Structure 1
């Protein structure tokens, strides 16, 4: 096989892998009822005048499936952390006991579960769009090759389509697992 075609195939596979990784990262942000330190990943805290991620000023733990505890490394940061959690608008109500911040994660309602499932479907569709875009780019690159025969180009397009089908199936499988996780009470 022509090395230009192999390069195009490899870079297409990398693009599709990136779309899959992005999808998995987005799915971490969709909470499925269980408390997780990742839920506070977007919280920024005013740390002596600069906006700093929460995990750089405090220890975030989940002692059980419904509670998140935030233990600041400096006691005087309690109010700032509490304010940061409120500003992040995550729907949490932090409680400050003077030592740590405790957040009770409320159980999800049926309607909220459906909304999260829709959000997961939308993220999966975005990943599929990224995969199909990588396919389109690869096919146009193959058509630009002058030194490859028509048969070689057709075979490369078939290989790219097989790769696309494989990655779309992976997205569907990941989505199915996430939907099941979301809908399980």
Structure 2
């Protein structure tokens, strides 16, 4: 196989894999009723005058499926951590017990579950768009090569097969996430 064609196929696959990885990272952020430290990944704490990610000033853990605990490494940061969680607008009501912050994760309502499924579908569609953009880019690069028409057609078919494979993977990951979200 032509070296340039192999490079184009590899870069297309890399772009598609990147879209898949992004989707998986986004799905982790969509909560499915279980408590997860990632739920607090967007919280920024005022740490000595500069906004700092919560994970850099405290230990976040999940003692059970409905509870998060945040234990700051410095006791004097307890109030700042609590305030940052409140200001993050995540819908949590943190409680301070003097040693750490406890957050009870409320169970999801049916309506909220449907909203999360819609959000998951939107993320999956974004990933599909990323895959299709990689396909389009690869097809454009193939057409610019100085090779035979048959080789171009064959490579386009390979690129389409790769695209179909990734679209199928996205659909199956979405299906699993939907089941996870809707499970009470």
Match of 2:180 in 1: 181
Deviating beyond 6 angstroms after TM superposition, the runs of 4 or more aligned structure 1 residues are: none
Match of 1:25 in 2: 25
Match of 2:94 in 1: 94
Shift of 1:83: 1.0
Question: Aligned runs of 1:2-151 on 2, under 5 Å?
Answer: 2-146=2-146, 148-151=147-150
Q: What is the RMSD of the two structures over their aligned residues, measured on CA atoms? A: 0.5
1:128 and 1:61 map into 2 onto residues whose CA distance is: 33
What is the TM-score with the length of structure 2 in the denominator?
0.99
Shift of 1:134: 0.5
The answer to whether 1:152 aligns with 2:148 is no
Gaps spanning 5+ residues in structure 1: where? none
Aligned residues: 184
Residue 10 of structure 1 aligns to a residue whose secondary structure is helix
2:20 and 2:155 map into 1 onto residues whose CA distance is: 22
Match of 2:167 in 1: 168
Residue 31 of structure 2 aligns to a residue whose secondary structure is coil
Gaps spanning 5+ residues in structure 2: where? none
Deviations 1:154-176 (A, max 9, x none): 00000000000000000000000
Deviations 1:3-32 (A, max 9, x none): 101000000000000000000000011000
Shift of 1:86: 1.1
Deviations 1:73-105 (A, max 9, x none): 101001110111111110000000111100000
2:50 and 2:112 map into 1 onto residues whose CA distance is: 34
1:88 and 1:23 map into 2 onto residues whose CA distance is: 23
What is the TM-score with the length of structure 1 in the denominator?
0.99
